[in-house]
A and B are shown apart, each in its own frame.
Chain A
Amino acid sequence: KAGVTQTPRYLIKTRGQQVTLSCSPISGHRSVSWYQQTPGQGLQFLFEYFSETQRNKGNFPGRFSGRQFSNSRSEMNVSTLELGDSALYLCASSSVAGNTIYFGEGSWLTVV
């Protein structure tokens, strides 16, 4: 069974631009969540989607948004990029609430 797949793996953007990251969950998993990892703040929860609905959201500004498609694939978007948005963005999926959450390899975003 393929794991959680994230694309792209690495990208460099300029301040003020926007970026879209993509995530394909494990087959059969309907819950997809996103995390940001930085050296200073560690791993922080961004949001979670299930059946195309956002069920939970972390404490991030509105520049961070996401969506989920009917096939459970998810995207997250960051608009008006700031230098502080440079981070590893991790996508995770699970089958049902309270079960194991599996992570992808992440997308490394560098904002210059």
Chain B
Amino acid sequence: SQQGEEDPQALSIQEGENATMNCSYKTSINNLQWYRQNSGRGLVHLILIRSNEREKHSGRLRVTLDTSKKSSSLLITASRAADTASYFCATDAGGAGGTSYGKLTFGQGTILTVHP
């Protein structure tokens, strides 16, 4: 079963606009990671945010985490056509020893289309 729910399922914007994707999850986590996937390709890691962090930045990406609401958001600023892809959040829910040993639980993803 999927831990995360992502919203929206699909997002269509123009180049230069900002894109915001949201992710909700059900259990407590050690960390949450965001990935991008271009059609038919592997997952590209974007950002990891730990449960004791509230916000992280990487270039045009900004990720927030609200553990009280069990939610995260990914903001892509000044989007480009090359940002067109599926975006996934994935949670490491922890376990014995404080980690789930490589098990990430993924949401269904948000399909982002950026029009030139």
Contact = CB atoms under 8 A, between A and B. Distances in A.
Interface of A: 4, 6, 31-33, 35, 42-45, 48, 50, 55-56, 58, 88, 90, 92, 94, 97-106, 108
Interface stretch (B20-28, B64-72, B74-82, B93-101): B93-101
Contact of B92 (A44, A98, A102): A98
A35 B97 CA distance: 22
Contacts, number: 73
B102 A101 contact: yes
B54 to A, nearest CB: 18
Interface of B: 2, 30-31, 33, 35, 40-45, 48, 88, 90, 92, 97-109
Contacts of A48: 101-103
Contacts of A58: 103
Contact of A31 (B48, B101, B106): B101
Cβ-closest 9 pairs across A and B: A48-B102, A33-B102, A97-B99, A103-B43, A43-B106, A105-B42, A56-B101, A55-B101, A45-B103
